Amino acid sequence: MRELYPEIEPYQTHRLAVSDLHELHVEECGNPDGLPVVFLHGGPGAGVSPYHRRFFDPKRYRIVLFDQRGAGKSTPHAELRDNTTQHLVADIETIRAHFGIERWVVFGGSWGSTLSLAYAQAHPERVLGLVLRGIFLGRPGELRWFNELDGGARWVFPERWAHYLAHIPEEEHDNLTEAYWRRLDSDDPAVRLAAALAWGYWEGGSTTLIHDPEEPGNLEQPDVAISLARAEAHYFRHDIFLEPDQLLRDVGRIRHIPATIVHGRYDMICPVKSAVDLSAAWPEAQLRIVLAGHSAADPAIVDVLVTATDALADRFG
C-alpha cells in the first residue's frame, strides 16, 4: 500500500487578484522545475490543507494549490458574489497563465472532481492527465442524497442526521437545503454560525469508512464551517451552475486524456454510482472502486491516488 509523501512546506505563496472583488491564496510546493499539477479542493468552500501537498512526489512535481473563491485564506472570506463554477474554471486558467504553465495534471476529489471535469472539458488542450476521487456530478439525485429527507445517507448515519434535522423546524423539512440557506444567509452572525456548525457536523463526521458517529467531525472550526456551509448551500441550490448532465454529456471532449477514477465503495457522501456512470461514459479511464468511504485519507484511496500521480510523473516527467 502506498502512503502519502512526507510533509512539505510551500517554497512560495502568492496573492492573486482574479477580479475587483476576489483575491486567491495560492501555494507552490515541491520542485519548481517539476511536472506541474494543480490540486482542486472539495466543498466547495473547504479550502486546502497541508496534507493535500502530500499526494505528489515533491522531487518530481511542481505542486500548485489554491483556496477557491471565498474559501480558506482567499478573500473576502465566505463571499458568494461572483462565485460560480464558471468563475472557478476561469480562475484555474488565470493561475495557469500567471505561472506560465503550458499544460498540467489536474487532481481533484469530491467537489474537486466536479471542478476538475468542468475545467478539463472547457480547456482539454491544457490538461495532461486527470486524477479524480469521490466523483460528484451534481445531478439532482446526488444533491438530494446527502442533504434531504428523500436521500439515502440518513439511513446510514441516523445519529448525525438527527442532529442535522433538529436544527430546522418540521414545517421546513420539505427543502432542507433552502431552510439551511435562509439561516446561513442571515444578517445575524450567531444564526449563521449555528447553522454552519450543524451543517458541518453532519458532513464532517461522515467521511471515513471507520468512525465514531458521535465524534465532532473535522469541520467544527468556525471559519471553515461558515465558508463550507455557505458555499455548498449556494452551489447546491443553483444545481452547481451547470446544465443538466453536462459533465457526462461532454465527456467526449476529454476521453483522450489519461485518467484515474478512484471511489470508495462505502462513500456515503458521494455514492459510487456516480463513478460507475462516469466510467461507463469514459471507458478509457481507469476506474478503481476500493474498500473505503469518502475521505481522501482512507488508506485504500491514498494507495490509488499516490500510485496514479507516480504513474503520471513516470509518463510526463
- Mean pLDDT, rounded, of the chain: 95
- Residue predicted with more confidence, 221 or 86: 86
Percent of the chain with pLDDT over 70: 97
Percent of the chain with pLDDT over 90: 91
Asked whether 295 and 208 are in contact (CB, 8 A), the reply is yes
Q: Catalytic annotation on 263? A: no
Dihedral angle, C-alpha 87, 92, 94, 99, nearest 10 °: 170
Domains of the chain: 12-137+241-316 (3.40.50.1820), 141-240 (no CATH)
Q: Catalytic annotation on 267? A: yes
- Residue predicted with more confidence, 222 or 88: 88
Give the distance from CA 88 to its chain's centroid.
12
pLDDT of residue 214: 67
C-alpha cell of 303?
494507495
pTM above the 0.75 mark? yes
Confidence grade of residue 45 (pLDDT, cut at 50, 70, 90):
very high
pLDDT 10s digits, 91-149: 999 999 999 999 999 999 999 999 999 999 999 999 999 999 999 999 999 999 999 99
Q: Which member of 22, 294, 298, 310 is catalytic? A: 294
pLDDT of residue 219: 61
pLDDT of residue 261: 98
pLDDT of residue 250: 98
pLDDT at 55 over 90: yes
Reported residue count of the chain is 317
C-alpha cell of 36?
506541474
Distance (Å, whole) CA 22 – CA 43: 18
pLDDT of residue 215: 66
Angle (nearest 5°) at CA 314 between 312 and 316: 65
Q: Catalytic annotation on 52? A: no
pLDDT 10s digits, 212-267: 666 665 566 888 999 999 999 999 999 999 999 999 999 999 999 999 999 999 99
pLDDT of residue 18: 98
Q: Which member of 110, 116, 227, 279 is catalytic? A: 110
pLDDT 10s digits, 138-189: 999 999 999 999 999 999 989 889 999 999 999 999 999 999 999 999 999 9
pLDDT of residue 221: 81
Distance (Å, whole) CA 164 – CA 317: 46
pLDDT of residue 14: 98
Q: Which member of 250, 267, 298, 310 is catalytic? A: 267
Per-residue pLDDT, averaged over 45-65, amounts to 97
Q: Which alpha helices (DSSP H) does 34-157 contain, by range? A: 85-98, 111-122, 140-147
